[in-house]
Structure 1
Amino acid sequence: MSEKRDYYEVLGVNKNSSADEIKKAYRKKAMQYHPDKNPGDNAAEEKFKEANEAYEILSDPEKKAGYDQFGHAGTDASAGGGGYSYSGGGGRGGFEDIFSDIFSSFGGGGGFGGGQRTRQRSNRGSDMKISLTLTFNEAVFGVEKKIKIKRKEECPVCGGSGAQKGSDVKTCDQCGGAGQVYVRQQTPFGTIQQVQECDKCHGEGTIIERPCDKCHGTGLENKERTINIKIPAGVDNGSILPLRGEGNIGPNHGSTGDLYVYITVREDTIFKRNGDDVYYDLPITYAQAAMGDNIVVPTIDTKIKLKVPEGTQNGKVFRLKGKGIPNVNGHGRGDQYITIKVEVPRKLTHEQKQILQQFAQVTGMDSHPEGKRFWARVRVEEKEKGPKKSV
């Protein structure tokens, strides 16, 4: 099986293209490769399908965000949960409006196309959204969770038909099962023909003589389910995990929508996260900073010895390469950054004060080059300004 092409390449746009630009590019491709314009051309048909697939993802903000971050893995329904995405809402991306325009250009009206094409009703179920809170460690290393959801499933009594047992579901005699009818109106400019939803079957194409007592003819019921979610290592606060086919089922034995899990990550008491990197402040004593020390420090998954050289200054940052958070796409790990915070004692004993005074007398000014340079600059500036004038 050949590898899928980049969706932006398929439509001839880029990641910064607006929704209108993506829609315009798709319309152009659909018009170019539509089977009605290329009868018997298998290559054109494949390109038409490819454009449809690309537009379905890029026209949906939620799916587009998942694709931008994770590529095809963020949209693949076979990926054991379907990849991972950020932000946005569901929807069909305006397909019906675009196809209506395309079909009209081939000589037809509305959604029928050429006067012969009946509208294919979308029976896809609606998407669902839930929130899930993780600890810092669960987000960093991944975890499996069981969650309870309530979703629409087929009614067990009527099997999703919406009709009582022994009752017929008949094709609507007004629209012939299309769910749509032509309506002609006389105007000063002539007769205008439009397509409208059939008012007899309400667009379903069928009529139920005796509705099911349990579901009242909808063919659906609300059901509580417990499902397993596998959270990948490296997800972050604000991530969205799409579970393909775990949403509501559509009417008339339609397909199921998706379930989007919005992830919130609680802050850790030690580590701060920025992308795949982690940060924290390491407090050390004045003596450790001055004389150096080997300090055992925590990382997100173990403890290591950090060599603090003598003379380490407050604010010094140490980098531990590859000790950060696993990348959610499997591209290695981030780094860990440790910032030194030298603690100055707030209260000193009489003995401690004497020792520090002795230390100050021994070291003198020469042991503090930064201070020496600072006061030298002060003296130069005062000399340049000249003596103060008395008022």
Structure 2
Amino acid sequence: MADHYEVLGVSRDASEDEIKKAYRRLARQLHPDVNPSEDAAEQFKLVTHAYDVLSDADSRRRYDMGGDEGAGGFGGFGGFGDIFETFFGAGGGGRAARPRSRRERGQDALVRVTLDLGEVVFGVHREIEVDTAVLCETCQGSCCQEGTAPVTCDICQGTGHVRQQVRSLLGNVVTSAPCGSCEGYGTTIPYPCATCNGQGRVRSRRTVGLDIPAGVETGLRLQLPGSGEVGRAGGPNGDLYIEVTVAPHATFSREGDDLLATLEVAMTDAILGTTTTIDGLDGPVDLEVRPGVQAGDVLTIRGRGITPLRGSQRGDLRVGVQVLTPTRLDGKDRALVEDLAKRLKAPSPKLSEFHQGMFSKLRDKFRNG
């Protein structure tokens, strides 16, 4: 069996590009449509087979190691699918092989956006910059220089495939493989666009307007169909995905569609009650602290939470009360408190019923403190 490197006229350390160029040069000389001699036809088969082996990294490695030229299964076929393609052509069922389309769908793109908790309450509009492939303005996706167009491949005559006869355990059979000259497209581009190097697209930064709905949360992905990368040769765009992260807030936290906060109340205000105004995420909120409020009580303001992702009824603002006990008293203040204690006849401290919620709050407080 002839050495594949000698058949193509390249060295054993030749690059993929050198192997491809050697095959194209020989194929143009030996193709039956160009050179009808029987000797040329045999040489063309050898050249094509050599290229099939050396153009695939795995089969070339096995060939260099003295292996079976990448054959797997029955006598040089990769399996039952390859056997069907051998007898019936690519695609099976007797259908003729078709050239590949240069136009391909573009890849999807992913952009991460960080939001403040306040922006989650009602949603927000953002202008985001995306670095993706866009349509080449010079050739408008044709991949060609102005005034030129792709030409039919003179090796495969536009089919995108070449047929060759190979020997196997089943006898001489005809196989169909992608044309190495046009890479299976059926056409070549002799004068590629200089702006995009014949790709029909270029990298560019662009601005995309994005309306982020209310109620999103960390980890949620929003999909913008058709806003991703443009495909090769002006193919359809992929999709753009926006992954949301909600930054922690110094005052408020979130539980579902509710907002949670802690209100520090002086001991005297807890005893007597008071009214106050707190700064909500969407403006001031009036809050009434009833007389005798206890530490751990939760005051609820309806409809001042977050608008749900799918709905219009806002959640609530829930405010947990933390009673502040004075730590330093002068003699007069201490006497007043002692007198109050005598008047109220406060009971001695004792254990109360186990309360999971309060225990959790205390436990978290100890951990964070």
Q: Same fold (TM over 0.5)?
A: yes
Q: CA deviation at 1:254?
A: 0.8
1:303 maps to what in 2? 284
Q: Deviations over 1:351-378 (max 9, x none)?
A: 2222112222222344x6xx3676xxxx
Cα distance 1:177–1:249, how it changes in 2: closer, same or farther (>3 A)? Answer: farther
Q: How large is the Cα RMSD of the aligned pairs?
A: 3.3
Structure with higher RCO (Cα < 8 A, 6+ apart)? 2
Normalised to the residue count of structure 1, the TM-score between the two structures is: 0.59
Aligned ranges 1:1-391 → 2 under 5 Å: 111=91, 114-116=94-96, 118=98, 121=101, 123-174=104-155, 177=158, 179=160, 187-188=168-169, 197-366=178-347, 371=349
Q: CA deviation at 1:250?
A: 0.8
Cα distance 1:218–1:316, how it changes in 2: closer, same or farther (>3 A)? Answer: same
Q: CA deviation at 1:339?
A: 0.9
Instruction: Assess if the C-alpha contact under 8 Å between 2:143 and 2:193 holds in 1.
Output: yes
Identity, % of aligned pairs?
A: 33
Alpha-carbon distance between aligned partners in 2 of 1:185 and 1:287, rounded to the nearest angstrom: 98
Instruction: Assess if the C-alpha contact under 8 Å between 1:175 and 1:198 holds in 2.
Output: yes
Cα distance 1:209–1:299, how it changes in 2: closer, same or farther (>3 A)? Answer: same
Q: Deviations over 1:179-222 (max 9, x none)?
A: 56677765547789887544322243421112222222212222
SS in 1 for 2:320: strand
Alpha-carbon distance between aligned partners in 2 of 1:347 and 1:191, rounded to the nearest angstrom: 103
Alpha-carbon distance between aligned partners in 2 of 1:346 and 1:190, rounded to the nearest angstrom: 100
Instruction: Assess if the C-alpha contact under 8 Å between 2:132 and 2:228 holds in 1.
Output: yes
Normalised to the residue count of structure 2, the TM-score between the two structures is: 0.62
Q: CA deviation at 1:245?
A: 1.6
Greater Rg by CA = 2
Q: CA deviation at 1:156?
A: 2.2
Counterpart code for 2:232: P
Counterpart code for 2:304: K
Cα distance 1:141–1:311, how it changes in 2: closer, same or farther (>3 A)? Answer: same
Q: CA deviation at 1:230?
A: 1.6
Instruction: Assess if the C-alpha contact under 8 Å between 2:160 and 2:182 holds in 1.
Output: yes
Q: CA deviation at 1:281?
A: 0.8
Alpha-carbon distance between aligned partners in 2 of 1:300 and 1:205, rounded to the nearest angstrom: 62
Give unmatched runs, 5+ long, in structure 2.
1-80, 353-369
Cα distance 1:234–1:372, how it changes in 2: closer, same or farther (>3 A)? Answer: closer
Instruction: Assess if the C-alpha contact under 8 Å between 1:292 and 1:308 holds in 2.
Output: yes
Cα distance 1:192–1:245, how it changes in 2: closer, same or farther (>3 A)? Answer: farther
Instruction: Assess if the C-alpha contact under 8 Å between 1:112 and 1:119 holds in 2.
Output: no
Counterpart code for 1:199: G
Instruction: Assess if the C-alpha contact under 8 Å between 1:148 and 1:225 holds in 2.
Output: yes
Instruction: Assess if the C-alpha contact under 8 Å between 2:113 and 2:242 holds in 1.
Output: yes
1:77 maps to what in 2? none
Count matched residues: 268
Counterpart code for 2:250: T
Counterpart code for 1:141: F
